[in-house]
C-alpha cells in the first residue's frame, strides 16, 4: 500500500508521537508498504511532504516538497479574521488563530495530490479534521489518538474555566476530530473512557491498540556507555526520571518527594532526563527546596537507554499520561518502576507485581514508594525482573504493526466502519453562504463569505483545483460550536 502519515505538529520532535510514527513507518516499510509523511517543519513556518520510494531491500529514494506558510497566511489571515469580526465578534484571537492555522494546513495538504494514496493515517485531531475535509472521498482515513490536547491546555493554564468559550472550542476539537475518520484507534482504555465520558465520542467507534517499541535496537543501545559520560557516585542509588519537563509530567511532585526523602537519607541522586518549558521553574524549585545537590538536570539526551542501565529505579510522576514510552523502555530493561496512577499508566504497571503505583500529585506517597524500593534491593530486583518478562512480550513492535494493518484492511474493505460526523451546512447563518463549488477560475469561492481579495494568482487556482467541491472556509461545524457557545 501507499500510505500517508499526517500530523499537524512538527516532525521531527521529541516525544512519544514522534517515536511511534517512526517505529510504525519502519515496520510497514519492512513489509513492503510505502509511507510518506505530511507535517510541519520544526520551525512551524513551513509544511512539508516527505516521500519515500523503495528501490530494493537495501535502497530507498527520498524526495520532498515544502510550502512556506507566510504568503498564504498574509492572504487567509485578514479574510478569516474579518469574517469573525463581522459575524462572531465574541470569538477571541486565540481561537481565531487556531482556526486559521488549520485552514492553512488544509489547503496546503490538498496541494500535495492526496489522490495518490490508498489510505491516510493521521496522528492528532487537528490533522484528522483537516485531512477529512480535503481528502478525496474514496480514500479511507484512520486516526490514532495519542492523548487529550484539551486537557494539556488546562495543565498549561491556557484555559482556567470549563465554562469559558476556549474550553468549549477545544472540547469540540476533540469530539469533531474523533468523529472525522473511518476508524479511531486509541492505545489505552483510559483514553477511550475520557474521550467517551468527557467529550461524548461513542464507545463503538474505538479500537484499542497499545504502543510498542523496537526491542533489539533498544537493547543494543542499552548496552552502551552514556555519552557525554555521566558517572555514578559510589554508594549512591540512582533514581531516573526520563520525561519532558512539562507540567503534565509531574516533576514538581517528584522534587517535593525528594525533599521528604532527604529528611532521613542522602544516599541517592535523582536524574531528570529531558528538557522542556518547565525546566527553569523546576530548577528554581530544586533550589528553594534545598535539594539541588542531589538532583541533576541532564537535559535532552540521545542516550536514554544507556542512562537507564545505570539507574536503580525509574520514576514517572505524571499528572496525566496516555501510554508513556518511558515505562515501556524501563520494563524491557528490567528496571523497578514507581509511577503515578495518571491516565493510562495503571494499565501498564501492576502494583506490587511489575512496579509500584502512587496517587498522582501525592508527594508523600511517592516518597514512601521510593523509600520502600531503596530499602529493599531484593524486592527492587524482583519487581524489575517481573516487569521485564511482561514488557518484552507486551510491547513488541511486530504486534503493533499486525494490529494496525488489521484496522487498515477493515477500512479498505469497508468492514466495521462506523458512521462519521454528519456535516453541518449552516447556509444563511452567521454570515455563511451556500456550500461553494470550487472551480479553476474561481479560487475565492473556497471562502463561504464575501472576500476582498480576488485570488487571481495562478498558485491559488492550483490550490482550488485540488479541493473537494463542497470545501469551504470557515468550517461550519466549528462556527456552530462558537456561535452556540
DSSP secondary structure, 135-149, as one string: S-TTS-EEEE----H
pLDDT score for 16: 80
62 near 51, Cβ under 8 Å? yes
Q: What is the pLDDT of residues 446-457, one digit of tens each?
A: 899 988 887 777
Give the whole-angstrom CA distance, residue 87 versus residue 426.
13
Q: What is the pLDDT of residues 155-205, one digit of tens each?
A: 778 888 889 999 999 999 999 999 999 999 999 999 999 999 999 999 999
Question: Lowest-pLDDT range, 12-16, 101-105, 299-303, 368-372?
Answer: 12-16
Q: What is the pLDDT of residues 117-135, one digit of tens each?
A: 999 999 999 999 999 999 9
Q: What is the pLDDT of residues 356-380, one digit of tens each?
A: 999 999 999 999 999 999 999 999 9
- Let me know if the fold of 2-212+399-484 is the same as that of 223-395: yes
Which is it for strands 46-54 and 34-40: parallel, antiparallel or unpaired? antiparallel
Model confidence band, residue 423 (pLDDT cutoffs 50, 70, 90):
confident
Q: Which residue has the cell 469561492?
A: 445
pLDDT score for 54: 67
The total number of residues shown for the chain amounts to 485
**Is pLDDT larger for residue 443 or for residue 144?**
144
CATH class entry, domain 223-395 = alpha beta
Q: What is the pLDDT of residues 25-50, one digit of tens each?
A: 999 999 999 999 999 999 999 999 99
pLDDT score for 469: 84
In the predicted model, is pLDDT for residue 441 greater than 60? no
pLDDT score for 1: 95
pLDDT score for 436: 63
* DSSP E strand stretches across 145-294: 183-186, 206-208, 237-242, 268-273
Give the whole-angstrom CA distance, residue 158 versus residue 224.
41
Give whole-number Cα distances, 129 to 33, 70, 92, in Å.
25, 22, 21
358 near 338, Cβ under 8 Å? yes
Give whole-number Cα distances, 474 to 104, 132, 447, in Å.
11, 14, 7
Question: What is the rounded end-to-end Cα distance, in angstroms, of the chain?
Answer: 43
Please give the grid coordinates belonging to residue 61.
Answer: 529514494
Q: What is the pLDDT of residues 271-297, one digit of tens each?
A: 999 999 999 999 999 999 999 999 999
Report residue 130 CA to chain centroid gap.
16
| C-alpha atoms less than 13 angstroms from C-alpha of 351 in its C-beta half-sphere | 9
Please give the grid coordinates belonging to residue 335.
Answer: 528496571
Q: Which residue has the cell 451556500?
A: 434
Answer positive or negative: Cα dihedral of 452, 458, 460, 464: positive
Question: Lowest-pLDDT range, 279-293, 349-363, 389-403, 453-467?
Answer: 453-467
pLDDT score for 155: 79
In the predicted model, is pLDDT for residue 207 greater than 90? yes
The residue ranges of every structural domain in the chain are 2-212+399-484, 223-395
35 near 25, Cβ under 8 Å? yes
Answer positive or negative: Cα dihedral of 165, 170, 175, 179: positive
**Cβ contacts of 203 within 8 Å, gap of 6 or more:** 192, 196
Average pLDDT over residues 404-415: 92
Q: What is the DSSP string of 329-380?
A: HHHHTT-EEEEE--TTGGGT--BTTTBEEE-TT-HHHHHHHHHHHHH-HHHH
Question: How would CATH label the architecture of 2-212+399-484?
Answer: 3-Layer(aba) Sandwich (3.40)
Model confidence band, residue 416 (pLDDT cutoffs 50, 70, 90):
low
Name the percent of the chain in helix, strand, coil, to the closest 5: 45, 20, 35
3-state DSSP assignment of residue 162? coil
Model confidence band, residue 56 (pLDDT cutoffs 50, 70, 90):
low
Q: Which residue has the cell 529514494?
A: 61
Model confidence band, residue 57 (pLDDT cutoffs 50, 70, 90):
low
Answer positive or negative: Cα dihedral of 195, 198, 204, 209: positive
Would you tell me how many other CB atoms lie within 10 Å of the CB of residue 204?
Answer: 10
Q: What is the pLDDT of residues 249-270, one digit of tens each?
A: 999 999 999 999 999 999 999 9
Average pLDDT over residues 193-221: 95
153 near 37, Cβ under 8 Å? no
Give the whole-angstrom CA distance, residue 337 versus residue 370.
9
In the predicted model, is pLDDT for residue 462 greater than 90? no
**Is pLDDT larger for residue 439 or for residue 434?**
434
In the predicted model, is pLDDT for residue 422 greater than 80? no
Give, in degrees to the nearest 5, the angle at Cα 244 between 360 and 389: 70
Amino acid at each position: 500500500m501507499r500510505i500517508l502519515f499526517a500530523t499537524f505538529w512538527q516532525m521531527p520532535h521529541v516525544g512519544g508521537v514522534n517515536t511511534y510514527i517512526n517505529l510504525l513507518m519502519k515496520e510497514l516499510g519492512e513489509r513492503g508498504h510505502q509511507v510518506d509523511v505530511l507535517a510541519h517543519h520544526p520551525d512551524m513556518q513551513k509544511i512539508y511532504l516527505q516521500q519515500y520510494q523503495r528501490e530494493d531491500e537495501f535502497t530507498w529514494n527520498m524526495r520532498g516538497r515544502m510550502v512556506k506558510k507566510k504568503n498564504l497566511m498574509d492572504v487567509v489571515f485578514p479574510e478569516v479574521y474579518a469574517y469573525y469580526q463581522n459575524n462572531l465578534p465574541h470569538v477571541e484571537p486565540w481561537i481565531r488563530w487556531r482556526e486559521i492555522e488549520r485552514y492553512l494546513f488544509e489547503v496546503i495538504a490538498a496541494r500535495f495530490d492526496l489522490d495518490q494514496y490508498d489510505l491516510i493515517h493521521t496522528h492528532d485531531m487537528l490533522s484528522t479534521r483537516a485531512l477529512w475535509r480535503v481528502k478525496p472521498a474514496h480514500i479511507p482515513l484512520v486516526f490514532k489518538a495519542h492523548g487529550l490536547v484539551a486537557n494539556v491546555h488546562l495543565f498549561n493554564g491556557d484555559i482556567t474555566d470549563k465554562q469559558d468559550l476556549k474550553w468549549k472550542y477545544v472540547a469540540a476539537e476533540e469530539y469533531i476530530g474523533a468523529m472525522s475518520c473511518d476508524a479511531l484507534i486509541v492505545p489505552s482504555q483510559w483514553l477511550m473512557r475520557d474521550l467517551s465520558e468527557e467529550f461524548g465520542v461513542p464507545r463503538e467507534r474505538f479500537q484499542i491498540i497499545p504502543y510498542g517499541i523496537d526491542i533489539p535496537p533498544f537493547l543494543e543501545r542499552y548496552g552502551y556507555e552514556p555519552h557525554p559520560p555521566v558517572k555514578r557516585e559510589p554508594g549512591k542509588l540512582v533514581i531516573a526520571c526520563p520525561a519532558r519537563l512539562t507540567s503534565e509530567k509531574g516533576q514538581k511532585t517528584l522534587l517535593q518527594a525528594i525533599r521528604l526523602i532527604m529528611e532521613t537519607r542522602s544516599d541517592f541522586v535523582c536524574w531528570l532526563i529531558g528538557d522542556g518549558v518547565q525546566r527553569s521553574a523546576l530548577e528554581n524549585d530544586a533550589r528553594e527546596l534545598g535539594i539541588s545537590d542531589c538532583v541533576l538536570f541532564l537535559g535532552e539526551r540521545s542516550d536514554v537507554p544507556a542512562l537507564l542501565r545505570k539507574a536503580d529505579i525509574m520514576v514517572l510522576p505524571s499528572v496525566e499520561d496516555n501510554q508513556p514510552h518511558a515505562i515501556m523502555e524501563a520494563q524491557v530493561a528490567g528496571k523497578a518502576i514507581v509511577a503515578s496512577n495518571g491516565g493510562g499508566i495503571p494499565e501498564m504497571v501492576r502494583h506490587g507485581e511489575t512496579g509500584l503505583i502512587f496517587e498522582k500529585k501525592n508527594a508523600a506517597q511517592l516518597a514512601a514508594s521510593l523509600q520502600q524500593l531503596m530499602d529493599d534491593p531484593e524486592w527492587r530486583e524482583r519487581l524489575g525482573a517481573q516487569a521485564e518478562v511482561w514488557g518484552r512480550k507486551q510491547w513488541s513492535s511486530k504486534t503493533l504493526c499486525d494490529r494496525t494493518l488489521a484496522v487498515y484492511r477493515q477500512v479498505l474493505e469497508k468492514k466495521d466502519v462506523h458512521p462519521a460526523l454528519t456535516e453541518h451546512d449552516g447556509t444563511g447563518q452567521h454570515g455563511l453562504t451556500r456550500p461553494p463549488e470550487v472551480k479553476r477560475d474561481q479560487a475565492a469561492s473556497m471562502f463561504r463569505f464575501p472576500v476582498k481579495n480576488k485570488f487571481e494568482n495562478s498558485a491559488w487556482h492550483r490550490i482550488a483545483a485540488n479541493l473537494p467541491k463542497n470545501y469551504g472556509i470557515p468550517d461550519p461545524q466549528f462556527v456552530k460550536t462558537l456561535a452556540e457557545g
